[in-house]
């Protein structure tokens, strides 16, 4: 996964160009397990000082695994009696949150901190 954000700071808001590239997504309907990808692009206008949920996605991953009694499942003829198969699944959620702060506000807060702490910056 690769995310690129290009901000343009305006007086009252910030315009962000967001590009999200997802790679390595297997297609469940294909037998040769080719991986697919997707590119999502958007432009959003954000106000300063607010929290935004810019995007989110979820995906499921299922893997078939083999279990059973350790030594007995490996025996040649009767091993299948002690062997079992199960599916291990996991679901993940990914969310992209953005907080936009004005660079002027950050600089003024830093100057106030320097003045209060008595550090002269030398």
Please give the pLDDT value at position 122: 46
Residue scoring higher pLDDT (22 or 28): 22
Asked if residue 26 belongs to a domain, the reply is: yes
- Which residues contact residue 82 at a Cβ distance below 8 angstroms, ignoring those fewer than 6 apart? 68, 69, 72, 73, 75
CA-to-CA distance for 78 and 99, rounded, in angstroms? Answer: 61
DSSP, res 104: H
- Residue range 67-102, pLDDT digits in tens: 888 888 888 888 888 999 999 888 888 777 777 766
Q: Which pLDDT does position 3 carry in this prediction?
A: 81
Question: What is the rounded CA–CA span in Å between residue 110 and residue 104?
Answer: 10
Asked whether residue 107 is domain-assigned, the answer is: yes
The answer for residues whose C-beta is within 8 angstroms of residue 1's C-beta and 6 or more apart is: 20, 21, 22, 23, 94
Residue 67: both structure tokens together: 């279990």
pLDDT tens across 28-78, in order?
A: 555 555 567 778 888 888 888 888 887 777 778 888 898 888 888 888 888
Domain containing 103: what range?
A: 2-58+92-117
Structural domain count, the chain = 1
């Amino acid at each position: 996964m690769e995310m690129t954000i290009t901000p343009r700071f305006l007086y009252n808001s910030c315009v962000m160009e967001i590009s999200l590239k997802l790679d390595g997504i297997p297609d469940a309907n294909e037998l040769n397990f080719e991986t697919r990808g997707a590119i999502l692009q958007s432009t959003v206008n954000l106000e300063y000082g607010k929290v935004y949920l810019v995007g989110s996605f979820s995906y499921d991953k299922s893997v078939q695994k083999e279990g059973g009694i350790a030594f007995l499942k490996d025996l040649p003829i009767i091993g299948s009696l002690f062997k079992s198969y199960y599916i291990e699944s996991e679901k993940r959620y990914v969310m992209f949150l953005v907080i936009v702060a004005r660079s002027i506000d950050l600089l003024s807060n830093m100057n106030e901190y320097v003045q209060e702490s008595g550090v002269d910056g030398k």
